[in-house]
Structure 1
Amino acid sequence: MDKIDLLPLLEYIDPANLSYQEWVNVGMALKLEGYTASDWDNWSRRDSARYRSGECFKKWTSFHGSNTPVTGGTIVDMAKAGGWEPSSRKEDYELDWDDTIGKDDKVIIDKNWLEGREVTEPETWDPVKDLVTYLETLFDSTENVGYVTSAWQKEGDNKYLPTKGNWDRTAGQLIEELNICDDDIGLVFGDYKPECGAWIRFNPLDGKGCKNDNVTDFRYSLVESDNMEIEKQNEIIRALELPVACLVHSGGKSLHAIVRIDAGSYEEYRKRVDYLYSICKKNGLEVDPQNRNPSRLSRMPGVIRNGHKQWLVDTNIGKANFTEWKEWIESVNDDLPEPESMADAWNNLPELAPSLIDGILRQGHKILIAGPSKAGKSFGLIELCCAIAEGQKWLSWACAQGKVLYVNLELDRASCLHRFKDVYQALKWEPKNVGNIDIWNLRGKSIPMDKLAPKLIRRAAKKNYIAIVIDPIYKVITGDENSADQMANFCNQFDKVCTELGCAVIYCHHHSKGAQGGKRSMDRASGSGVFARDPDALIDLIELDITEELYKQEENKAVSAACVAFLEANYPAWEDNVSQDDQCSEKTMLDYCNRVLLREAYIEMINHFVHPARQRVRQRTAWRIEGTLREFPKFKPVNLWFDYPAHYVDTIGVLKDVEADGDQPAWKRNFKKRKTPAEGKKTRGTSLESAFEAAGFNGQPTVKGMAEYMSVTEKTVKNHLKEHGGFLVDNQGAVFKKGK
């Protein structure tokens, strides 16, 4: 079905009531939707005061489009504000630009049930009291007030238009003069024309003009609608709990509500007024959009307009301020469930969600994996994806089997895919159910989580994932990670994913800087504590300090195993000559291999088995996993090795007594590192020998050359040489070894 014809809608839009930018927007929308400059020109002629022949055609050629174009929806919106209503729709009707899909939020009032609330004109009226109350309510005594009592008419038109008026007196001065004017408002403000009444500005001015730039405090906005009965305007204004400071009858067909905005800047004022107007519109109050400006004129209470009173209907109604009002609006139809009685559920408790990771996490819950760099967090997440896909154990914990989505935000596609295969091979798992793993590669395309969540939900719907892994979250963090409220909002996006898809969300985050061993596991993650307290389970990795003794012990086992593997493949008779105890000794195994193997075979074993085994041990890092759980009891710390590209649990227990990084106080760590005087002297001697050899590579060694090599001063070198006693220094700074 074709889209709406926009030309009939222009009948509902009066160009004379639009700002210049709004008029331009109509032209841009018409061009984008395929209409002609003549269409825009014919409509613009209705504003006889501002119409200029040829201007539309000249402006039309300057519309070249943009990344955020003005569409036909703008005209639809303006037409609705002017009273146009779409015709009744059939079920298969094509949606218009401004149609709402699903339930609209922030709707307080059912427009079909509006009856109206009567506005009763006062039997005894005190115009001066109305005006004094108005000034006292809106202004401080020292603030300048803008007002207009003179007006002019267009030729051939009965409509009166206000002049710029006055702004040179304060509210205090005006109130003082009103109190002694003997009920003659004209004596204070100047005589006005009873045919058109008078106007007043509701925000304070600087005394130098009456434009937006002259407004000193963006305190109020005007809400006015003249296309519905005053009684219904009154009902909506009060039912919406608008924070109205003053409600004025215009003496015509509208109420003027002076609404508290209390903005700190013009930019904030615009945003708040836009929000205010949108809420009014959603609830049936079509507000005149020309009243947005903070310097706008409103009707002055206490004067007569064409035989009718402009009078103060009420003051200080609705919510106390804009913030309180907005919070109320947002909470009225929040779609939150009602509280339930525990007595009703006591004998009919719902089933708990099944476990995803046994003893750690339930399906539909959230888990955070935190750790420092080089901990292999991404590999750990990939291992978890593989474990869920295959129904295998992840580290020490059994996993439910099902489909999993891995959201890759950091690696290029090829590297990510290779990692999955590398992990499968390192764990020696058959990829029987690798089809359970989906990967969404978003490197270079990541967006903040509040925008990613709905896109993720849409793509994951109907895929029956039991887990979604997001790696890493720093790529999608929205806001300051040290701000509790911003991070609470960020973490709420994970709740949306869990709720909408019924799956678990798994994500990782980095540690803060510095040693972590002395901290609790939930205090190590960088940024706000919200990170650690929000998820249902926190798995935290901390590095262990491996001693040289332990490394050598592991090297012994690795080299022994490498010798056994080589002998098994090349010398089947070896087991007859080597005991079980011998197989645990690196030295014994190497001696045996050297004795029984040919020289070439021995060299091959060393180069291709022994050296790589040693290197692999030195590349290992050791880690301890601790956890904070909401649904399960606390587990004992789990120690593991990260042997690229996979983690392996320390089932033997060699890491049981190893201290974590930062476990000891600083003084104790430094004490262990401190050398004895003899050790220090030996170290300095070794450094001197190395420096002497290096400085003499291209000639005679000198103190200067040795100092440069050691990155110390020449004085330090001389002191070390004197301490060593095995060197001589001549007058030119040349260094010689004694006896040579």
Structure 2
Amino acid sequence: MPRTTQKPIVDSYATMQSNSDDVDLGGDTSAVPSQIVTLASFIANHPKQSTPVIDGLLRCGETMNVIAASKIGKTWLVHGMARCVATGSDWLGYPTRRGRVLIVDAELHPSELVQRLQAVAPEYATVADFPIDVMSLRGRMVNINQLAERLRTDVAPGRYAVIVVDALYRFLPKGCSENDNAAMMAIYNCLDGIAGRTGAAIVVVHHSSKGDQSGKSITDMGSGAGSIARATDTHLAIRPHEEEGLAVLQAVCRSFSPPDDISIRFDFPRWELASREPRLATRQTTGDEKQKRLDTEADDAIRTALNGKSLSVSQLRTATGMGPDRIRRALSRLKTISKRLKNRSTGKKSERFRLPKQQDG
């Protein structure tokens, strides 16, 4: 890949924000502008939306949550996203605008982070000044306010298209609970401040709540206070697909039309699009699980009784001790073959069932 001169992704947005004393990284209410302007003036000062970084999902100066259960692959997902933005390539079908990325990681040990980034973005070895920077903070106990101050002093407005914060819980100040709505609102005010000053889109990695997620809406998936979902501009989640080995990527956005769900597959070291309908796995209730177990037991009993034989329902009742309705349901599930045969002793015909050849024996 040849080296190219990169044009900063952020245009007037970062410059405007960096010159304003109204931006406060800690969310202090004293920093709220007091000026009231006319609608015409307001429109004139903000004539267009901010530039998309990931078209259809995320703009400069916005925040995004990436939500999934622990160890599903959230970090692999955002590392793939970072690579696509850094190279200007599509990310899971979404066009990106090329720009520099900062990964702030407090989750992985430095050596593990190196291995992952080398796997996800091998281009770094052939491109001078590959546009991904890293701030490794595992074990440093840096909270979000300290991070904001560091970025305030070290990052020039417009330098980064995306800043990844992995993971949210690692940056909570001492005594801050992610279940506290007011506290988490202050955290996101801080993240908005970082986005406002740098002009970058902020991508926050966060874990889902415990337990089955299939019956929840996407905005209810994240662990902790409801303000975590409400405060962000894009809420993106990896959810279980009905087909094993696949996942469904869902998102809700503030500044784009609702994106379609897509099916994705983790093909080491990256998440890739999968050509399957994005069907979410359904929740199994205790009753469903019990019925599935009973059906399996019935199928096994019928399969054993019919091994190499053709039997009637009456004979199957004697062999298995099950009732006729349960037997007939199992015969249907097993796709048995039926034929009316004459009983040698009575001369009467009765329906006999046998297993298909692939199940027999």
TM value normalised by structure 1: 0.35
SS in 2 for 1:407: strand
Letter in 2 for 1:524: M
Q: Which residue of 1 aligns with 2:90?
A: 393
- Give the one of 141, 154, 157 matched to 1:459: 154
* 1:658–1:502 CA distance, 2 compared to 1 (3 A): closer
Shift of 1:626: 0.9
Q: Which residue of 1 aligns with 2:269?
A: 645
- Structure 1 position 501 matched with structure 2 position 198: yes
Checking the alignment, whether the CA contact within 8 Å between 2:65 and 2:232 is kept in structure 1 is yes
- Structure 1 position 630 matched with structure 2 position 251: no
SS in 1 for 2:189: helix
Alignment partners' CA distance in 1, 2:141 and 2:287: 44
- Larger RCO (alpha carbons 8 Å, 6+ apart): 2
Q: Which residue of 2 aligns with 1:675?
A: 295
How many equivalent residue pairs? 277
Q: Spell out, residue by residue over 1:290-320, the C-alpha distance to the aligned partner (whole angstroms, 9 max, x if none).
A: xxxxxxxxxxxxxxxxxxxxxxxxxxxxxxx
Q: Which runs of 5+ in 2 are unaligned?
A: 1-20, 22-27, 305-361
- Structure 1 position 414 matched with structure 2 position 34: no
| Larger Rg belongs to | 1
* 1:635–1:682 CA distance, 2 compared to 1 (3 A): same
* 1:672–1:431 CA distance, 2 compared to 1 (3 A): farther
Q: Which residue of 2 aligns with 1:351?
A: 48
Q: Which residue of 2 aligns with 1:435?
A: 130
Checking the alignment, whether the CA contact within 8 Å between 2:61 and 2:192 is kept in structure 1 is no
SS in 1 for 2:130: helix
Residues 503-582 of structure 1: matches in 2 within 5 Å?
A: 503-546=200-243
Shift of 1:420: 1.1
- Structure 1 position 374 matched with structure 2 position 71: yes
* 1:379–1:681 CA distance, 2 compared to 1 (3 A): same
Q: Which residue of 1 aligns with 2:100?
A: 403
SS in 2 for 1:540: strand
Residues 14-93 of structure 1: matches in 2 within 5 Å?
A: none
SS in 2 for 1:385: helix
Alignment partners' CA distance in 2, 1:517 and 1:355: 31
Letter in 1 for 2:171: V
Q: Spell out, residue by residue over 1:2-50, the C-alpha distance to the aligned partner (whole angstroms, 9 max, x if none).
A: xxxxxxxxxxxxxxxxxxxxxxxxxxxxxxxxxxxxxxxxxxxxxxxxx
- The structure carrying a bigger helix percent of its residues is 1
* 1:380–1:434 CA distance, 2 compared to 1 (3 A): farther
Shift of 1:674: 3.5
* 1:430–1:392 CA distance, 2 compared to 1 (3 A): farther
Identity in percent = 26
Q: Spell out, residue by residue over 1:393-434, the C-alpha distance to the aligned partner (whole angstroms, 9 max, x if none).
A: 111211111111101111121211121111135xx9995476
* 1:344–1:677 CA distance, 2 compared to 1 (3 A): closer
Residue range with higher mean Cα deviation, 456-465 or 508-517: 456-465
- Structure 1 position 424 matched with structure 2 position 130: no
SS in 2 for 1:505: strand
Alignment partners' CA distance in 1, 2:210 and 2:116: 27
Letter in 2 for 1:393: D
TM value normalised by structure 2: 0.70
Q: Which residue of 1 aligns with 2:281?
A: 660
Checking the alignment, whether the CA contact within 8 Å between 1:515 and 1:661 is kept in structure 2 is no
SS in 1 for 2:197: helix
Letter in 2 for 1:644: F
Checking the alignment, whether the CA contact within 8 Å between 1:543 and 1:660 is kept in structure 2 is yes
* 1:636–1:341 CA distance, 2 compared to 1 (3 A): same
Letter in 2 for 1:464: R
- Give the one of 167, 184, 199 matched to 1:487: 184
Checking the alignment, whether the CA contact within 8 Å between 1:405 and 1:469 is kept in structure 2 is yes
Checking the alignment, whether the CA contact within 8 Å between 2:156 and 2:198 is kept in structure 1 is yes
Alignment partners' CA distance in 1, 2:34 and 2:53: 27
Alignment partners' CA distance in 2, 1:424 and 1:341: 48
Checking the alignment, whether the CA contact within 8 Å between 2:88 and 2:99 is kept in structure 1 is yes
Q: Spell out, residue by residue over 1:42-99, the C-alpha distance to the aligned partner (whole angstroms, 9 max, x if none).
A: xxxxxxxxxxxxxxxxxxxxxxxxxxxxxxxxxxxxxxxxxxxxxxxxxxxxxxxxxx
CA-based RMSD? 2.8
SS in 2 for 1:356: strand
Alignment partners' CA distance in 1, 2:124 and 2:291: 46
* 1:657–1:649 CA distance, 2 compared to 1 (3 A): closer
Alignment partners' CA distance in 1, 2:84 and 2:303: 50
Shift of 1:380: 0.7
Alignment partners' CA distance in 2, 1:437 and 1:355: 19
Alignment partners' CA distance in 2, 1:465 and 1:648: 25
Shift of 1:671: 2.8
* 1:375–1:352 CA distance, 2 compared to 1 (3 A): same
